[in-house]
Structure 1
Amino acid sequence: MAKNILTEENFLRLHKTIQLNRGKKGALMPVLHEAQKIFGCIPLEVQKRISEELGVPLSEIYGVVTFYSQFTLEPRGEYVIGVCLGTACYVKNAQPILDKVAELTGASVGGTSPDGKFSLEATRCIGACGLAPVLTVNEDVYGRLVVGDVPGIVAKY
């Protein structure tokens, strides 16, 4: 399924990023963003390397990685589908839309499909309440959805 992301080449790219940011105030966030791009996630092995090279406690790095939703400990699928479950979307039947996406992709909420193609997230308000209920696929936004719209959307990807 997933290819090995913990390659020497990726760690070398991470090292270069750390070197560019070392000593700068607030260096951790840009390093983590770049690590997420390089590896597709920030597993414990990557966090340990950042800790060693930046001199930041591992507990602090783990706290940041698990607090911010843009970071993930596990690789995400090629397509990240987010179904908004904020109040406006939820009252307009977002839950059945989420359930249908899970059924069609084989991805559970917070997980990735067995083929590695889709990751599914239940999100909170994305600021598109006027389009409720809303679903995103990477940067694409789909609004005013009904369950019947989901198969066509998933099929595009």
Structure 2
Amino acid sequence: MSTPEDVIAASPLDPASTRQLAEETPADTGVFGQDTVDRARAIIARYPQSRSALLPMLHLVQSVEGYVSQQGIAFCAGQLDLSLAEVSAVATFYTMYKRRPCGEHLVSVCTNTLCAALGGDAIYAKLREHLGTDGKPLGHEQTSGQPGAPGSITLEHAECLAACDLGPVLQVNYEFYDNQTPDTALELVKSLQAGEKPHPTRGAPLTDFRQAELQLAGFFEGREADLDGPSAAPETVRGAAVAADRGWTAPAMPDNAEFPALPEKK
């Protein structure tokens, strides 16, 4: 486990800032039991350099607490022999790592250009209103209900979810629900709050946020069949189907294709 002295020695930050970070980080990582330690070691074994395991390791700790806590950062630092500053830099850069406890379900509404124009903004506004309290709409990455409790929902607006042909779309725990409207999205969220798990438009059967995080860390534990869920909708492969029906093919690569010469290094 990294000590404050280790953090100060390894950190690129100035000593005063680094010491404050070290002192504010609880040393107790006891929330992560032996099963989590064993999984962490299994993740590390996948890579030639242990520090390369940091991204799945952060998903692992998120599967335990429902977010990346300071204890989670300390756990990753200790397992990977990194400083707290190095782990914190990664955990605060990527939006999939949450710094506040999430609900049972994470609902991500695409509000990028195409989905927004097709109704994504209206969907997000409808869900904010429904999940808010005392007349105040729910904010980005805020949770309706007790985080982690059955029926609790964390709502976020997301950048492009790479499903423009099916927009507007939203995800629940990173599973797709395509061609949504404000009314169908509201019905979906009400079902989640009632303890139901409507099947996604495509992909694996819906689980909760923490189980999805465990899968992102590489552990399926009885849910291996989730990998077989259909990932492509008819709209996605329509161009390929038309090409097959009409006998269209791409030009073959020449046997002796010449590639441009690399620029000379100076």
- Report the TM range for the smaller structure's normalisation: 0.7 to 0.9
- Report the Cα offset of residue 27 of structure 1: 2.9
- Report the Cα offset of residue 127 of structure 1: 1.2
Secondary structure, counterpart of 1:35 in structure 2: helix
1:110 aligns with 2:141: yes
Structure ranking higher on relative contact order (CA contacts 8 Å, 6+ apart)? 1
Identify the match of residue 78 of structure 1 among 90, 93, 104. Answer: 104
**TM-score normalised by the chain length of structure 2:** 0.51
- Report the Cα offset of residue 132 of structure 1: 1.5
Contact 1:104 1:154 in 2 (8 A): no
Q: Which amino acid aligns with 1:66?
A: T
- Report the Cα offset of residue 151 of structure 1: 2.5
Q: Which amino acid aligns with 1:67?
A: F
Secondary structure, counterpart of 1:112 in structure 2: strand
User: In 2 relative to 1, CA 59–142 (structure 1 residues): closer, same or farther, beyond 3 Å?
Assistant: same
**TM-score normalised by the chain length of structure 1:** 0.81
Contact 1:36 1:71 in 2 (8 A): yes
Question: In angstroms, what is the RMSD of aligned CA positions?
Answer: 2.4
Contact 1:18 1:54 in 2 (8 A): no
In structure 1, the partner of 2:235 is none
Larger radius of gyration: 2
Q: Which amino acid aligns with 1:10?
A: F
Of Structure 1 and Structure 2, the greater helix share is in 1
In structure 2, the partner of 1:3 is none
- Report the Cα offset of residue 128 of structure 1: 1.0
Contact 1:82 1:135 in 2 (8 A): yes
Question: What per-residue deviation string (whole Å, max 9, x for no partner) do you get for residues 63-121 of structure 1?
Answer: 11112222212221111111001111111231121011111123421111133300111
Q: Which amino acid aligns with 2:171?
A: T
Secondary structure, counterpart of 1:27 in structure 2: helix
Question: What per-residue deviation string (whole Å, max 9, x for no partner) do you get for residues 6-25 of structure 1?
Answer: 88352444433444428951
1:68 aligns with 2:85: no
Identity over aligned residues, as a percent?
27
